[in-house]
């Protein structure tokens, strides 16, 4: 019912910036998004939280990106953004968009993931 499409990844030099976008296409009109966020997974490592934002605008960041990354969302467009500054080589990973949502009549929320977008930070 929810399809997430990420964009904005690529190659960035250390110290540079990037902006990722994730647009959600919805097939059920009554769907509301509880939260939208970004996770990342580097080779050989577990997927980790980057940032998440609630429908009300509350945010939570992974310790490794606090002060450097900013998450925002446009509820009217069902889109979430991730602005990353002062990038480091250790930020290199596949970044995945995530959304938790619920439709009228559902007893539980559901989760969708995007296909991922590669971010590579060169030193």
Q: If DSSP codes are grouped into helix, strand and coil, which group holds residue 76? A: helix
Measured CA to CA, the distance from residue 100 to residue 102 in angstroms comes to 7
What does DSSP say about strands 2-7 and 59-61: parallel, antiparallel, or unpaired? unpaired
Beta bridge partners of 72: 81
Q: What is the DSSP letter of 87?
A: -
* CB-CB contact of 60 with 49 (8 Å): yes
Q: What angle do CA 35, 65, 47 make, to 5 degrees?
A: 65
Q: How many CB atoms lie within 10 A of CB 57?
A: 10
| Local confidence pLDDT in tens for the 123 residues of the chain | 899 999 999 999 999 999 999 999 998 888 999 999 999 999 999 999 999 999 999 999 999 999 999 999 998 899 999 999 999 999 999 999 999 999 999 999 999 999 999 999 999
């Amino acid at each position: 019912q929810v399809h997430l499409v990420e964009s904005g990844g690529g190659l960035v030099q250390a110290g540079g910036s990037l902006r990722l976008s994730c647009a959600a296409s919805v097939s059920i009109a009554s769907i509301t998004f509880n939260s939208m966020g970004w996770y990342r997974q580097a080779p050989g490592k577990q997927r980790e939280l980057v940032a998440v934002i609630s429908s009300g605008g509350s945010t939570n960041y992974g310790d490794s990106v606090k002060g450097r990354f900013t998450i925002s969302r446009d509820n009217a467009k069902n889109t979430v953004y991730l602005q990353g500054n002062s990038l480091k080589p250790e930020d290199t990973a596949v970044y995945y968009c995530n959304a938790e949502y619920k439709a009228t009549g559902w007893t539980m929320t559901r989760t969708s993931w995007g296909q991922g977008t590669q971010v590579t930070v060169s030193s």
